[in-house]
Amino acid sequence: MVGALKPFAQLKVVELAGSIGGAYCAKLFADNGAQVVTVGESRLTRSQSAYLDQGKLKPSSSYSSVMDQADVIIQSDPRSSFREPLVRAGPKAIVVGISPYGSFGPYSTWQGTAATIYAHSGHTYLTGDPQREPLMGPSTHPLYASGLFAFVGAMAALFDRERNDQIHSVEVTHHEVLTALHQMSFVRYQLGKDILCRMGNRWTGHGQPNGMYRCADGWLALSAPTDLQLETLLAITGLSDLLDDPRIDSPADFQEFPELLDEHLAPWLSQRNAGEVSELFQAAQIPAAPANTILGLLNDSQLKYRDFWRKAGRWSVPGAPFRFSSTSGTPSALPDPESAGGPLSGIRVLDLSKVWAGPLAARILAELGAQVIQVEAPWGRGPREIPESLVVAQRFHPDNIQGPDQWNRNGHLIKYGLNKESVVLDLSRTEGLATFERLVPTADVLIENFSPRVMPQLGLDEHRLHSLNPDLIYMTMPGYGRSGPAENWVAYGTTIDSHAGLSQLVGYRDEHPWKCGVAWPDPIAGLHATAAILVALWDRQSKGGVTIEAAQFEATISVIGDVIVEAQMDGHEPSLMGNRDQDFIPQGVYPCEGVDQWIAISIVDELAWEVLCEIAELPTDWLGLTRSERLMLHDSIDAELASWTHNFDQIDLAAKLQEVGVAAAPVLNIPGVLGDVHLEARSAFGRVDQPQVGPLVLPRLPIHFSAASERPPMRPAALLGQNTEAILMDVAGLSRFELSELENLAIVATEPPI
- 342 DSSP assignment: -
Determine the Cα–Cα distance for residues 710 and 340; give it in Å rounded to an integer.
13
Tens-digit pLDDT profile for residues 462-509: 999 999 999 999 999 999 999 999 999 999 999 999 999 999 999 999
Tens-digit pLDDT profile for residues 324-364: 987 777 788 889 888 778 999 999 999 999 999 999 999 99
For the chain, what is the mean pLDDT?
Answer: 95
* Portion of the chain with pLDDT greater than 90, in percent: 88
Sequence-ordered list of residues with C-beta below 8 angstroms from that of 424, at least 6 positions apart, any chain: 375, 376, 377, 378, 380, 720, 721, 724, 748, 749, 750
3-state secondary structure 433-476: HHHHHHHHHHCCEEEECCCCCHHHHHCCCHHHHHHHCCCCEEEE
Q: How many CB atoms lie within 10 A of CB 594?
A: 11
Tens-digit pLDDT profile for residues 6-40: 999 999 999 999 999 999 999 999 999 999 999 99
CB-hemisphere CA count at 13 Å for 538? 27
Positive or negative, the Cα torsion across 521, 527, 531, 533?
positive
Q: Comparing 707 with 81, which gets the higher pLDDT?
A: 81
557, 496 in Cβ contact below 8 A? no
Least confident of 201-205, 317-321, 436-440, 661-665: 201-205
Cα distances (Å, whole numbers) of residue 628 to 56, 600, 618, 634, 723: 34, 21, 18, 10, 63
Tens-digit pLDDT profile for residues 470-483: 999 999 999 999 99
242, 248 in Cβ contact below 8 A? yes
Q: How many residues does the chain have?
A: 754
Q: Residue 38, class by beta-carbon neighbours within 10 Å (0-12 exposed, 13-18 middle, 19+ buried)?
A: buried
At residue 1, the pLDDT reads: 46
At residue 489, the pLDDT reads: 97
At residue 87, the pLDDT reads: 61
555, 148 in Cβ contact below 8 A? no
Determine the Cα–Cα distance for residues 152 and 550; give it in Å rounded to an integer.
16
Q: How many CB atoms lie within 10 A of CB 134?
A: 23
Determine the Cα–Cα distance for residues 360 and 223; give it in Å rounded to an integer.
21
Cα distances (Å, whole numbers) of residue 401 to 207, 388, 409: 18, 8, 9
Give the residue ranges of DSSP H helices in 193-300: 227-237, 258-270, 274-283
Amino acid (one-letter) located at 395: R
- 505 DSSP assignment: G
Cα distances (Å, whole numbers) of residue 296 to 509, 520, 568: 21, 20, 11
Percentages helix, strand, coil for the chain, rounded to the nearest 5?
A: 40, 15, 45
Tell me: pLDDT of 709 over 70.
no
Least Cα distance to 355 among 197, 211, 206 occurs for 206
- Please give the domain boundaries of the chain with CATH numbers for all domains: 224-286 (no CATH), 323-496+505-559+721-744 (3.40.50.10540), 580-669 (3.30.1540.10)
Positive or negative, the Cα torsion across 626, 629, 634, 637?
negative
Least Cα distance to 210 among 523, 521, 512, 493 occurs for 493
Determine the Cα–Cα distance for residues 178 and 702; give it in Å rounded to an integer.
9
Determine the Cα–Cα distance for residues 547 and 322; give it in Å rounded to an integer.
10
Sequence-ordered list of residues with C-beta below 8 angstroms from that of 149, at least 6 positions apart, any chain: 172, 177, 527, 702, 703
Tell me: pLDDT of 601 over 80.
yes
Least Cα distance to 566 among 139, 27, 99, 41 occurs for 139
- 428 DSSP assignment: T
Q: Is 281 strand, coil or helix? A: helix
Query: What is the distance, to the nearest Å, from the Cα of residue 567 to the centroid of all Cα atoms in its chain?
Result: 24
- 288 DSSP assignment: E
Positive or negative, the Cα torsion across 40, 45, 47, 51?
negative
Q: Is 56 strand, coil or helix? A: coil
Sequence-ordered list of residues with C-beta below 8 angstroms from that of 571, at least 6 positions apart, any chain: none
Q: Is 320 strand, coil or helix? A: coil
Give the residue ranges of DSSP H helices in 544-605: 552-558, 561-570
As a whole number, mean pLDDT of residues 304-328 equals: 94
Max CA-CA distance within the chain? Answer: 87
129, 200 in Cβ contact below 8 A? yes
CB-hemisphere CA count at 13 Å for 20? 24
Q: Are strands 587-591 and 598-602 parallel, antiparallel or unpaired?
A: antiparallel
What pTM value is reported for the model? 0.97
